[in-house]
Amino acid sequence: MALKISSGGDGADESAPKQITSGSVSVKDRYEIKLDEPLPDYDTAPALAYRAVSIRDPSRPLHALVCDPKLPPRLDMISALHRVEGGSMVQVSDWDVVDWPPEGRRCPVLILNRPGGKKVLSGLTDKRKPLSEDFVTKHLIHPAVEILREMHGVGETHRALRPDNIYFSSEDEKGLVIGECFSAPPAMTQPLVVETLDSCLSLPGGRGEGLPGNDLYSLGVCILSLLIGQYPCNQMNDEEVIQQKMAVGSYSAIAQNHRVSLTIMEVLRGLLNDEETDRWTIEDLALWLNGRRLSPKLQALPAKATRPITVGGQGFNTARELAVGLHKNWDEAIPLVREGEIDGWLRRSLGDESRTEAMAAAKSAAGNDEPDRLVARAIIALDPNGPIRLRGLSATVGGLGMFCSVYRDDAEAQRLFSHVIHMGLATFWLEQQFHPRAESAHSVARLDRMRATLMRPTLGFGMERVMYELNSDMPCRSPLFEKDYVATLDHVLPALDRAAREREGDIKRLIDRDIAAYISVHFRRSVAGDLSDLEGEDHAAAAIAQVRMLAVLQDSVASGKPLPDLSRAAVKLLQPSIEEFQSRTTRKRITQTMLKVGKEGRLQGLVNVIANPAEIDADKAGYLKATNDFTKSAVEMINLRRNIKNQATVAATVGGQFSSGIAGILAALVCLITAAIRLA
């Protein structure tokens, strides 16, 4: 269970949220979730179920699913599927993000119509009385055809069809209701027995949205499960399920010796065909319901070699089995691929010319200095219908985007994802398809576009941008939102306001890499020009650029709703910008004005104050005038000092000359007087 509630008591982690089991949580003032009334029978892993009450209609049977914040629910699907017939599938009445006391954080919650009965099967090991073929046909196959037709028609897939996600519509078990498909990433919690082989070989977080054929395959397993009263293959572990499917095909592996009528056998053969092009479509199933009997193509088993090839101490007889073996024994696979042993086995023992040519193509573009790329391409050549595999990574082409989202906090997973993109493995996978689908080509084209984004390390790009581009449901994963859940662009500013309040305005940066990338992807206008201003060397200008971008968001997305705590944090962030003003009086006045404006919660008001052209020009003009005045005064002072020094020099020179003259005159007088005395 992904949502873990502290048990409290001695030795409990003091930092863990305390368990709260009473009271209620309001959802949009329309519903209340009862904390003391969990409904474990309606849990949909990893989401937990609680009783919900409609304020307007308390008698309406509802339940809430509290979703795991790290496994984002498929919120975009809710509006797309609001027209699906509500009586045959559990529908979402509303959703929101709420403060969830048991977790001490904000979590996404779904409000759903509660089925009248419990799950047909509670889990993989549960058993019950088998249901009749007529009952399953009427209450499961008929409604499933209509539901899946509508879903696939709007480009969506269910990806949560499994026996323990099917409910009785009432306590007397008179009908069935298909469970919801919104509370977790697609196919994330599906048991392997209900998944196609390529999905079985992928990591749970790399299965992706899949195609309509994935839903139909899962429906086939559900049909058989209800007819036999248990999950098929429930005595096998995951490894054995995969091995059996590869060895004898899905139909034989799953149906085994279970007795069903020829009519239902026809359906199972059509839905459980491992070849996607031979698997029944929704229209084929509709024709069968209308009485037209089809002849499903028999499962074509892969060719077996006359001599097994050994990898990791195990012998393999088919190309697909060898691909699985190479993936599990990666380092050992490198010399096997590089030195040509596999080429010889394909040509002489398996006799598969197409796989031999594919292996040659795989090796021709992968040099010996790129051993990981060489093995990854070789695996694709051997098993073109399988997932893309690179050491610890295994994901379908359509699931690679989901992979980088689910394993966001796994540095190794992120590194491997980057390598898959840079190595062009998705493009090579598409080239090896016998019957390429438009959906697959679209997925590959999107992945190829991400290569340039990954190579740009600047704010608003890089891995963060790629994750949000490839996952529309992924919440903003900024560290500022560690205990929050930012599901849409509308949630960004309120979440920042809460973060500022919790940190008492002490936020070093309001727009980090995640927030910049999230806004870039979800904002309706381009912000590329603004992004360059956010990380310049001028920290004061970068701070203003951050507040300006959020101000635009406040006016266009938040309808100008006041954000007082975020505004106070912005005032602190803009302090260096205030210091850029030269006038002490201006700095004091602007600080007081910004504190006043900050209380109003309007970010644009702060921008208008700190980036007021008239104020900036006046400060520059005042500074220039002060500088000029100072310069003029300094020059006058220098000249004055120079003049004073010159006067002293002149005085000394003239005084010396005057003194010499006076001395000469006096000497002459003395001589005259002396001469007169002598004559007398």
Range among 82-91, 213-222, 256-265 rated most confident: 213-222
Cα 64 → chain centroid? 24
CB atoms within 10 A of CB 229: 15
> What domains, with CATH codes, occur in the chain?
24-113 (3.30.200.20), 133-289 (1.10.510.10), 309-470 (no CATH), 479-611 (no CATH)
Instruction: Look up the pTM and report it.
Output: 0.87
Helix axis angle for 142-153 and 212-228, nearest 10°, is 160
Omega of the bond leading into 562 within 30 degrees of 0 (cis): no
For residue 66, the cross-strand partners are 48, 109
Give the integer Cα–Cα distance in Å for 651 and 643.
12
pLDDT of residue 654: 56
Q: Predicted confidence band at 560 (pLDDT cuts at 50, 70, 90)?
A: confident
Report, as an integer, the average pLDDT of 597-623.
86
Give the integer Cα–Cα distance in Å for 224 and 204.
23
User: Each residue of 533-547: pLDDT tens digit?
Assistant: 887 778 888 899 999
How far is residue 243 from each of residues 252, 279, 565, measured CA to CA in Å? 12, 20, 58
pLDDT of residue 10: 34
Mean pLDDT for all residues in the chain? 89
Structural tokens at position 42: 């309606």
531 neighbors 460 (Cβ within 8 angstroms) = yes
Cite the beta strand spans of 172-269 per DSSP E: 176-178
User: Each residue of 351-394: pLDDT tens digit?
Assistant: 999 999 999 999 987 766 789 999 999 999 999 999 999 999 99
How far is residue 592 from each of residues 53, 362, 596, measured CA to CA in Å? 49, 68, 6
Give the integer Cα–Cα distance in Å for 200 and 192.
5
pLDDT of residue 16: 42
Does residue 6 surpass a pLDDT of 60? no
459 neighbors 523 (Cβ within 8 angstroms) = no
